[in-house]
């Protein structure tokens, strides 16, 4: 996805050269840095690549595929990326969707509902963003679009109580999955993070939260790692959704997020429409990183 | 977490106190630290490269002053350079001599345009002006309602003749808004537009059409302070696609270092004019280059130290 810069293609040309000079190493580093991989992970990837090429020499194979392999190893294609949307003992699975402001949470809730409905599952949405102007209406529009019921509270009501009501309704109606949309919050706002922790605890009085999705915008730079750490501490994130990957940003910050937190990217957002959501594909992601 | 730039520089210069001039090796070591600090602050790589080269040059030329240790000296150089770039030619909002002043907002999805529109309207209202908010995002679910709710909170009239959610022509609404403002005696028109990607040629054309329909006095590019390396590409795409006069940085109440401010200023030459720092409508301010420079370097207290030295 996204535009293919001439930069990356140039890199592949360089990499196919017989011997790699310092300029080439620098341009490899540049490709990784401009994809928001971050300084430390970039240095480590380059170091690994150097070592492999030095130790194995020509045995290592085409430098291009060695770099691709290195990146793939970091992105780890073997992680379990299935969405946990089913509950046990007749209780619905509960998906809690969290993240900073404007990252794409509400849209992602709509898109996930669409997929679940297409798989003949029944879904209830909880509009627990009672804060932002017209956030509840926005989710309600998504509910209409994809044909699922939305449990809403009045603007300004306690988000935890809306989440509680949504799950309660989901249990009573016997749906398969309840998805709870939450207000965007910056991770350095202690009060708002406490509020989010409460939303989760209150839900868990009735049903286990089977999946906590942290939504990260692909344009996000190094702050994405800070976001992931704090949200993990507060609500124990189980999966990442990387949105807006249809733009020119590569979303490289999730490499560090996965590496440090061990939480996999499960889904990617590829547009504003209901069908613009796809499972994360490690190979495709790496290929896009390399341009 | 990472040590701050000042910590790392202090470490680099442990044995340097008292030397008259920085050696080439010192300068190289310093340049590496500055490079890392800027990259970790999300300054775009090409901008980092130019910037570090410029700092190296200045560090070579300058004598280490008696009052500052070498680390402080370099930080001062870096800070001064940052402020120069960020603050070069800051300017105030331009108002039309005749007829309503038109401000158009553009940017990526979720950057904070709609919120900003209302903040700016409130800010102008408090200065005795009479703004009209215009709902030209007819695409995103309930973008129109969002602007209406925010307008109500700000106590500002919202022109929203179309319901949105895919219904209505944003170019026509934009065009009609200027007439509406004249008719209802509003002196500023603030046009909220849908979020769009730099790579979306079709929507970028729509933004250009909206611009042509209203001939704005100011087009402002609204950008999230959390943005990473994509900032320059996107800023350039909006510059080419719709053009803008100034930049607004949003979500500065977060803990992102906001290197995009430097990148965009440097690459496009457009000044950052406003800062948006919170979800409340009053969380809006003009941009302060010196605060931003300290923030990018993560070194607020060091500056005080330098000033005291
Ligand atoms: N191009 C693109 N736009 C997206 C994608 N996902 C979401 N968006 C857009 O991003 C903007 C913000 O999306 P929302 O779903 O409202 O984000 P949010 O996280 O719920 O925002 P808050 O609730 O205000 O914090 C909207 O304009 C969406 O249409 C995506 O994958 N690609
Ligand atoms: N913390 C914080 N949140 C902000 C700020 N500005 C906007 N937001 C929030 O960011 C989210 C997106 O803001 P919007 O104003 O809807 O952004 P937009 O650019 O209009 O989004 P689209 O129309 O979907 O492209 C909302 O949750 C806002 O409340 C800010 O300065 N600080
Ligand atoms: Mg939302
Ligand atoms: Mg908007």
Q: Please count the other Cβ atoms lying within 10 Å of the Cβ belonging to residue A57.
A: 8
Q: Which helix (H) or strand (E) is A45 found in, with range?
A: helix A39-56
Interval A41-54 mean pLDDT: 89
For A202, phi then psi, to 5°, come to -70, -40
Q: What is the pLDDT of residues A170-189, one digit of tens each?
A: 999 999 999 999 999 999 99
Instruction: Give the per-residue pLDDT at B24.
Output: 85
Q: Which helix (H) or strand (E) is A146 found in, with range?
A: helix A135-146
Instruction: Give the per-residue pLDDT at A4.
Output: 39
Interval A243-254 mean pLDDT: 97
Tell the residue nearest (CA) to atom 24 of ligand 2: B110
CA distance B151 to chain A (A): 10
Rounded to the nearest 5 degrees, what angle is found at the Cα of B68, between the Cα atoms of B66 and B71?
135
Assess B36–A contact: CB distance below 8 Å, yes or no. yes
- Cβ of A99 closer than 6 Å to ligand 2, yes or no, is no
Cβ <8 Å between A219 and B227: yes
Ion ligand 3: residues, CB within 5 A, are A 105-106
Residue found under tokens 């449990």: A151
Instruction: Give the per-residue pLDDT at B1.
Output: 38
CA distance A149 to B3: 49
| Comparison of pLDDT for A290 and A123, the residue scoring more | A123
Q: How far is the CA of A80 from the centre of ligand 1 (A)?
A: 26
B252 CA: nearest ligand 2 atom: 31
Cβ <8 Å between A100 and B254: yes
Closest CB to A102 among B110, B148, B253: B110
Interval A89-100 mean pLDDT: 97
Q: Residue B137's closest CA among B155, B100, B111?
A: B111
What is the number of residues in chain A? 291
Assess B254–A contact: CB distance below 8 Å, yes or no. yes
Assess A105–B contact: CB distance below 8 Å, yes or no. no
- Cβ of A227 closer than 6 Å to ligand 1, yes or no, is no
ipTM: 0.95
Cβ <8 Å between A250 and B230: yes
B276 CA: nearest ligand 2 atom: 31
Assess B44–A contact: CB distance below 8 Å, yes or no. yes
CA distance A53 to A60: 6
Residues 6+ apart with CB under 8 A from A283: A72, A77
pLDDT higher than threshold 70 for residue A241? yes
Chain A residues whose beta carbon lies within 8 Å of the beta carbon of residue B143: 134
Residue A6's pLDDT band (cuts 50, 70, 90): very low
Which ligand is the nearest neighbour of the Cα of A246? 1
Q: What is the pLDDT of residues A198-207, one digit of tens each?
A: 999 999 999 9
Cβ <8 Å between B279 and A247: no
Cβ <8 Å between A100 and B148: no
Which ligand is the nearest neighbour of the Cα of A186? 2
Instruction: Give the per-residue pLDDT at A53.
Output: 81
Instruction: Give the per-residue pLDDT at A2.
Output: 36
User: What part of A 161-190 touches B (C-beta under 8 Å)?
Assistant: 186-189
Q: Which helix (H) or strand (E) is B58 found in, with range?
A: helix B45-61
DSSP three-state, residue B38: helix
Residue A242 backbone class (left: φ over 0; alpha: ψ -120 to 50; beta: rest): beta
- Using an 8 Å Cβ cutoff, are B253 and A186 in contact? yes
Based on its alpha-carbon atoms, the radius of gyration of chain A, rounded to whole angstroms, reads 21
Assess A273–B contact: CB distance below 8 Å, yes or no. no
Q: pLDDT in tens for each of the 309 residues of chain B?
A: 345 666 776 676 665 555 566 788 888 888 888 899 899 999 999 999 999 999 898 888 877 666 677 777 788 888 889 998 998 656 789 999 988 999 999 999 999 999 999 999 999 999 999 999 999 999 999 999 999 999 999 999 999 999 999 999 999 999 999 999 999 999 999 999 999 999 999 999 999 999 999 999 999 999 999 999 999 999 999 999 999 999 999 999 999 999 999 999 999 999 999 999 999 999 999 999 988 988 998 765 555 555 554
Tell the residue nearest (CA) to atom 10 of ligand 2: A101
CA distance B68 to A70: 45
Assess B148–A contact: CB distance below 8 Å, yes or no. yes
- Residue B188, strand partner residues: B101, B131
């Amino acid at each position: 996805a996204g535009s293919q810069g001439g930069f990356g293609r140039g890199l592949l040309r360089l990499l196919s050269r017989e011997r790699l000079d310092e300029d080439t190493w620098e341009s490899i580093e540049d490709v990784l840095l401009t994809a928001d991989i971050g300084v430390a992970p970039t240095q480590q990837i380059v170091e690994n690549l150097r070592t492999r090429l030095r130790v194995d020499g020509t045995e290592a194979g085409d430098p291009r595929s060695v770099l691709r392999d290195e990146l793939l190893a970091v992105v780890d294609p073997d992680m379990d990326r299935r969405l946990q949307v089913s509950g046990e003992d007749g209780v619905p699975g509960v998906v809690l969707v969290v993240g900073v402001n404007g990252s794409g949470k509400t849209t992602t809730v709509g898109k996930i509902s669409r997929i679940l409905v297409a798989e003949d599952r029944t879904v209830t949405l909880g509009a627990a963003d009672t804060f932002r102007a017209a956030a509840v209406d926005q989710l309600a529009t998504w509910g209409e679009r994809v044909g699922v019921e939305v449990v809403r509270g009045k603007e300004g009501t306690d988000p935890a109580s809306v989440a509680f009501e949504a799950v309660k309704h989901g249990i009573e109606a016997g749906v398969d999955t309840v998805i709870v949309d939450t207000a965007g919050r910056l991770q350095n706002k202690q009060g708002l993070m406490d509020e989010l922790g409460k939303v989760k605890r209150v839900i868990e009085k009735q049903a286990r939260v089977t999946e906590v999705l942290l939504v990260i915008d692909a344009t996000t730079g190094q702050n994405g790692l800070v976001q992931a750490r704090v949200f993990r501490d507060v609500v124990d994130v189980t999966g990442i959704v990387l949105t807006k990957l249809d733009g020119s940003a590569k979303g490289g910050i999730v490499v560090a997020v996965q590496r440090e937190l061990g939480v996999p990217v499960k889904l990617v957002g590829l547009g504003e429409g209901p069908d613009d959501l796809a499972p994360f594909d490690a190979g495709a992601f790496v290929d896009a990183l390399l341009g | 977490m990472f040590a701050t730039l000042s910590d790392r520089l202090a470490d680099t210069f442990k044995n340097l106190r008292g030397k008259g001039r920085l050696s080439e090796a010192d300068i190289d070591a310093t340049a590496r630290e500055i490079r890392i600090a800027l990259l970790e602050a999300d300054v775009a790589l090409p901008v980092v490269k130019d910037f570090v080269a410029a700092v190296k040059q200045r560090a070579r030329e300058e004598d280490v002053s008696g009052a500052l240790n070498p680390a402080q000296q370099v930080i001062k150089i870096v800070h001064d350079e940052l402020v120069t770039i960020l603050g070069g030619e800051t300017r105030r909002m331009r108002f039309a001599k005749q007829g309503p002043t038109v401000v158009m907002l553009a940017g990526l999805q979720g950057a904070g345009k709609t919120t900003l529109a209302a903040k700016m309207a409130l800010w102008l209202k408090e200065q005795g002006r009479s703004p009209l908010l215009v709902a030209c995002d007819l695409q995103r679910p309930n973008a129109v309602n969002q602007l209406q709710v925010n307008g109500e909170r700000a106590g500002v009239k919202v022109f929203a003749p179309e319901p949105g959610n895919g219904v209505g022509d944003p170019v026509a609404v934009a065009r009609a808004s200027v007439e509406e403002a004249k008719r209802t005696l509003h002196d500023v028109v603030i046009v909220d537009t849908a979020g769009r990607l730099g790579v979306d040629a079709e929507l970028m054309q729509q933004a250009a059409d909206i611009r042509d329909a209203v001939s704005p006095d100011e087009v402002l590019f609204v950008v999230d302070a959390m943005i990473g390396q994509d900032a320059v590409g996107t800023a350039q795409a909006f510059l080419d696609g719709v053009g803008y006069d100034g930049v607004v940085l949003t979500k500065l109440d977060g803990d992102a270092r906001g290197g995009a401010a430097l990148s965009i200023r440097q690459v496009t030459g457009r000044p950052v004019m406003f800062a948006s720092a919170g979800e409340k409508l009053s969380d809006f301010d003009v941009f302060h280059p010196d605060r931003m420079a300290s923030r990018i370097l993560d070194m607020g207290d060091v500056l005080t130290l330098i000033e005291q030295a």
